[in-house]
Structure 1
Amino acid sequence: MRIQTRDKAFWSVLASPFVIIGLGFLTATAFNALIEGWAWVPLAIVYWSSMGYCIWRFKGDKPLAHWLKKSRKAPVWITITLLLGMFPLTILVMNYHLFDSVWLVVFWLLFALINPLLEEYYWRGILLDRLLLKFPQWAAVLFTTILFMISHPLMWGVFSAANRSYHLYIFLFVAGIVWAITYLKTKSLRYVVLSHFIVDIGNLTVLTFLNIYVPPAM
């Protein structure tokens, strides 16, 4: 009975990203027709709530602090992770003048504080951990990375031109691989969450959702 329960939980976790992305796509599509770029708000609520539920449902006996414990030494991968996070900061430096409202700054900072933590807990924590129980490491990393990558155009890309850019796909694929390997090497999400936070600060998130910032190549 216990084995059957574990198998059921595994397949539930495996199916969860498809459900989350599907819910996100439907939410983005429905609200885009009503409020266009501001559809990012209901999408964020649905997306974060879905991931939060999965984290709560599938974390088992592990406390959330387990994933943020002190990192094992892996200086090369920690350095790569932090450098990767700093890469989009050039976008912020060149476009900070686009923040012409205090509310845009508030939304931008809130998104950068909430999103990295929930995404890393879910994509690299819950999902990757569970896949490693049945699949080779390379397959688990590739599976989570590809779904993490395509979730952006399928959800945020419904209303955001920047999230449909092939440049973003490349960056997300590389980031997903690096963050997953760093997590596996350090056994902690500390540096991964930090890197993701810096990325979300640098890539202007809310400004791209509202199409206030659109990459020049588009």
Structure 2
Amino acid sequence: MSARFAIHPMPTVLDAQLVDQLGRYEAAQLADCMGKPQAAGSHLVGRHDGTRLVGCALTVRTRPGDHLMVQKAIDLARPGDVIVVDGGGFAEQALVGEIMVTLASKRRIAGFVIDGAVRDLQFLREQSLPVYSTAVCLRGPSRAGPGEINVCISVGGMQVRAGDIVVADADGVVTIPRDDVPAVLQAAEALSRKESATLQAVQSGDVDRHWVDAALHAGGCHFISGS
């Protein structure tokens, strides 16, 4: 059996309550709690109607431009799973379009995150099933393989393992390693409280801005007076 053409076991299902709790926070808040390695770059863009995405990752690594393993992932995915595809960022053949998105919706799959292209953009824009991709291209895919399912992949600069949690919104996509979920939830709650307090201070005009000049001075910034 080729290591590059294989379907690995499905990950265990994470407690749905934990997944739902993560979905209460903005993707940017979760990214701030974990750092850049778990946050996708700006080229991974939502193509749908703006519906938020949260679910467990079913990972796919495929040959650029080939969607055979993406098709199989739809068959394997459980309700609430997010199909996350490492297509190598190849932008010249679409891996997903109207038919596959419709099928995924019927099977209650949570959505797609694709480091590669999609097509049927007008259709996708009208759908509530979240689809994030790095490109749009009308050219269709091949379907011969090889590829792997449920392996560690790289998507949008993120390392994603099967069973990790995916949260995405209008700002972008973030993934949370499943073992880190309790700690991230705790950090996100603390950050949310801090941000709420800051916004209240801004609204009341009682905000402390001394830290800006302090940071400038600490960095050696020179304040040059006019002549």
Q: TM-score, normalised by structure 1?
A: 0.25
- Bigger relative contact order, structure 1 or 2, given CA contacts below 8 A and separation 6+? 1
As a proportion of its length, which structure holds more strand? Answer: 2
The structure having more radius of gyration, on CA atoms, is 2
As a proportion of its length, which structure holds more helix? Answer: 1
